[in-house]
Amino acid sequence: MKRALITGITGQDGAYLSQFLLEKGYEVFGLIRRSASADVVGERLRWLGIQDRVRLIDGNLSDISSLIRALRECEPDEVYNLGAQSFVKASWNQPLLTGQVTALGAGNMLEAVRLVRPQARFYQASSSEMYGRVQEERQNERTPFYPRSPYAVSKLYAHWLTINYRESFGLHASSGILFNHESPLRGIEFVTRKITDGVARIKLGLANELRMGNLEARRDWGHARDYVRGMWMMLQQDQPDDYVLATGRTTSVREFCRLAFAYVGLDYERYVKVDPAFLRPAEVDVLCGDATKARRVLGWQPEITLEELIAEMVEADLARHRARL
C-alpha cells in the first residue's frame, strides 16, 4: 500500500485528491494547521464522506520542524504540496503572509523532503496566475511568466525552487501549472462559487442581486476532479517534469454568470451588478492553457465540460440553502 502526504488536505484539491488516492488503494495522510475553527476545517472531507479514512497530522508549512516530524511519522511515497494562501485578492492585503506560506512554505517542504524522505516523489501546485500579463495567446510550459499579484509572485518562487531542487539534488519533483479548476467544494470567496451561490440564493428568494467585479476577465475553467487526477499522473512518470493542465477553452466571468443563471431559468442581466469594490489592483485579463504536453506524455485530458461543472455547482448550492430553510 502506497502512502501519500498532502498539505492543504482540507481545501478543494486536497479533498478530491484524498478521495482519488483512497480509491487507488493509498494510505492518505494530511498536514493540518492548528485552527480555532477546527470543527469546520474538515467540512470538505466530510462532504465527500472520507473524513474517517484519512489520517491528519498537526503541522504548518511555516514550521520546518513540524514538516520533518510529519515526514518521519508517515514515511510517504508521494508528497503533494497543495497548501497555500490561495486567494488572489487577499494576497494584496496580506503580501508577506502569502510569501511566507505560499513561497517559503514550499521551500520548507522541499527541504524537509530532501533531508528526511529524498526517495519520495514530490508534487508542487503551481498556478496559471504566474502567467499574469500573458506573453502568448495560449500558455504552455515554455511561455514566459509575468505575475500580477503577490500570490502569483509567491507561486512563481515555489515553482522555480521545485525545478532547482530537482536539478540540484535529484529529487523526483514535478510542478503542475494548473489553470482554474472549480467544483462544489470551491471556497465561497472564489468568483465561480460566489456566482453559483448567488444564483441559488436568488432562485430561492434569499437575495435579489449579485454584486461582482470585472465581468470581462476570461479564464480557462475545468473541474477539480479532472485536475487532481493529473497531479497523480505526473508522479507516476519515470522522470519528473512540469506540466500545464487546462481545457483550452476560455470563458468570461460574464458568460459564466449567464450560464449559471440560465441553468435555473433566470436572466443574469436582471441581477448582476458591477461593484468597483470587487476590482483587483492589477487584473489578469485572460488566461487560456495549452495542455498538449500533458495529453501527449501523461495521456491526460479533461472529461467534465464547463456546462456540467456549472450545473453541479448550482445544484449543490441549491441543496445547501434548501437544507437551511
Asked, for residue 297, whether it belongs to a domain, the answer is no
Q: Are residues 166 and 124 in the same domain?
A: yes
- Do the Cβ atoms of 264 and 199 come closer than 8 Å? yes
pLDDT in tens, 263-314: 999 999 999 999 988 877 777 789 999 999 999 999 999 999 999 999 999 9
pLDDT of residue 284: 77
Alpha helices in 30-140 (DSSP H): 43-47, 64-74, 88-93, 95-98, 104-116
Asked, for residue 293, whether it belongs to a domain, the answer is no
Alpha helices in the chain (DSSP H): 12-23, 43-47, 64-74, 88-93, 95-98, 104-116, 150-169, 191-203, 224-235, 253-263, 292-293, 306-324
| Residue 92, domain extent | 3-181+222-245
pLDDT in tens, 119-159: 999 999 999 999 999 889 999 999 999 999 989 999 999 99
Q: How confident is the model at residue 38 (pLDDT cuts 50, 70, 90)?
A: low
Best CA proximity match to 257, nearest among 210, 320, 289: 210
Q: Are residues 150 and 100 in the same domain?
A: yes
Whole-number Å distance between alpha carbons of 24 and 192? 29
| Lowest mean per-residue pLDDT among 114-118, 201-205, 272-276 | 272-276
Q: Are residues 158 and 191 in the same domain?
A: no
Q: Are residues 204 and 139 in the same domain?
A: no
Q: Are residues 171 and 266 in the same domain?
A: no
Q: Are residues 143 and 201 in the same domain?
A: no
Best CA proximity match to 324, nearest among 204, 184, 202, 240: 204
pLDDT in tens, 144-200: 999 999 899 999 999 999 999 999 999 999 999 999 999 999 999 899 999 999 999
Any idea what the CATH number is for the domain that residue 260 is in?
Answer: 3.90.25.10
Any idea what the CATH number is for the domain that residue 103 is in?
Answer: 3.40.50.720
pTM score of the predicted model = 0.94
pLDDT in tens, 239-277: 999 999 999 999 999 999 999 999 999 999 999 999 988
pLDDT in tens, 4-24: 999 999 999 999 999 999 999
pLDDT exceeds cutoff 60 at 224: yes
- Do the Cβ atoms of 88 and 149 come closer than 8 Å? yes
Q: How many domains does the chain have?
A: 2
Q: Are residues 71 and 119 in the same domain?
A: yes
Q: How confident is the model at residue 36 (pLDDT cuts 50, 70, 90)?
A: very low
